[in-house]
């Protein structure tokens, strides 16, 4: 299930952990979404806001939701657009980051944002949407515990803009933290079991995952064996991963996997472009990989991407198992 959802509707009616209020600096209510939230929450919200002593532009503060379906309201003050001369873009991004900081600190799992600063504050809607989407998506790659972010659009124009931004959003991010390593290990188990059991059998799949794709094994490869791992995110969901290692003048593409439900969404092409760019920066002459001889679908996919079969490679991987592969190469 996608972690980002775009809807057109009334944010005060949403049954989420928290909704965001596009407030003014006083936090004492106003027009637009601010006034609607105060009316729906009841007078208790104003009393709570009076105790917060206002809020600076680009910052955020939290109160209970009172009579709203949501448990919390996170109040943030967006910038007034002045032709981009007063750090408006930076301040709008800060609004989203500060709201998400509060989300993380309070164990909030689901949140809905309005289109901050795009009403009477005059921020251009396409630029505001891009800032919002990219800031939220970047946060989600580091905080998988956040289950759902809703962009709740009041008008048809914003709804259309957000939906266009939402199409096929892909991020490829280097794996460095223990949390990211755990995500890769989870993907590896899922992908190997959904794709390779019919090719090499359950027993060998279990051995491969435990020996070479567990969190401990991946951490060892990163820290001791000079492998780099990258997570592929599609619409903020971990949807695949890449592992590479420079070996002489060749970049070895050790692993390049996409989850079953995400195949056909362009992740393979984007992943290959990403690997090619790295290879060129490293002055590699070719990208090489190995693929099981019976993995016909992957062989055809790599062939379509421009890889050429350069021969057989048979490897003893332990426990009585052998990998019978083709070596394939993409010349740069």
Query: Which positions are annotated as active-site residues?
Result: 34
Number of C-beta neighbours around residue 120 at 10 A: 11
**Residues in Cβ contact with 263 at an 8 Å cutoff, skipping those fewer than 6 apart:** none
Residues 6+ positions from 33 with CB-CB distance below 8 Å: 11, 21, 22, 114, 119, 154
Q: What are phi and psi of 251, to 5 degrees?
A: -100, 115
> Distance between CA atoms of 188 and 218, rounded to whole angstroms?
10
Output the six-digit token pair for 250.
């060749």
- CB crowding 1-27: b at 16 or more within 10 Å, else e: eebbebeeeebbebebbbbbbbbbeeb
Closest CA to 287 of 254, 259, 251: 251
Helix (H, G, I), strand (E, B) or coil at 24: coil
Find out whether 229 and 175 touch, Cβ atoms under 8 Å: yes
Contacts of 318 (CB under 8 A, 6+ apart): 207, 211
Closest CA to 229 of 269, 179, 286, 283: 179
Q: How far is CA 295 from the centre of its chain?
A: 29
Burial of 94 (0-12, 13-18, 19+ CB in 10 A): buried
The string of DSSP codes covering 148-165 is EEEEEESSHHHHHHHHHH
């Amino acid at each position: 299930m996608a972690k980002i959802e775009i809807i057109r509707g009334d944010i005060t009616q949403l049954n989420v952990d928290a909704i965001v209020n596009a407030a003014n600096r006083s936090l004492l209510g106003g027009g637009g979404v601010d006034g609607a939230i105060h009316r729906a929450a009841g007078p208790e919200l104003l009393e709570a806001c009076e105790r917060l002593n206002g809020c600076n532009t680009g910052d955020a503060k939290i109160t209970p939701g009172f009579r709203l379906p949501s448990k919390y309201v996170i109040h943030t003050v967006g910038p007034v657009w002045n032709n981009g001369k007063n750090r408006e873009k930076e301040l709008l991004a800060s609004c989203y980051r500060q709201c998400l900081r509060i989300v993380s600190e309070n164990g909030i799992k689901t949140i809905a944002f309005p289109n901050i600063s795009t009403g009477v504050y005059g921020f251009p809607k396409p630029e505001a949407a891009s800032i919002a989407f990219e800031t939220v998506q970047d946060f989600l790659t580091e905080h998988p515990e956040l289950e759902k972010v809703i962009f709740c659009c009041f008008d048809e124009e914003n709804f259309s803009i957000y939906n266009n931004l939402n199409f096929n959003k892909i991020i490829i991010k280097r794996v460095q933290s223990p949390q990211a390593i755990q995500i890769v290990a989870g993907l590896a188990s899922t992908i190997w079991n959904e794709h390779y059991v019919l090719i090499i059998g359950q027993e060998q799949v279990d051995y491969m995952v435990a020996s070479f794709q567990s969190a401990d094994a991946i951490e060892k490869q990163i820290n001791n064996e000079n492998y780099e791992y990258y997570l592929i995110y599609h619409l903020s969901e971990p949807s695949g991963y890449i592992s590479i290692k420079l070996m002489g003048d060749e970049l070895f593409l050790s692993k390049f996997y996409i989850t079953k439900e995400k195949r056909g969404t362009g992740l393979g092409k984007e992943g290959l472009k990403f690997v090619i760019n790295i290879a060129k920066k490293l002055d590699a002459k070719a990208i090489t990989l190995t693929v099981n001889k019976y993995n016909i679908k992957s062989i055809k996919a790599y062939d379509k991407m421009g890889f050429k079969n350069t021969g057989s490679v048979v490897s003893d991987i332990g426990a009585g198992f052998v990998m019978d592969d083709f070596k394939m190469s993409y010349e740069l």
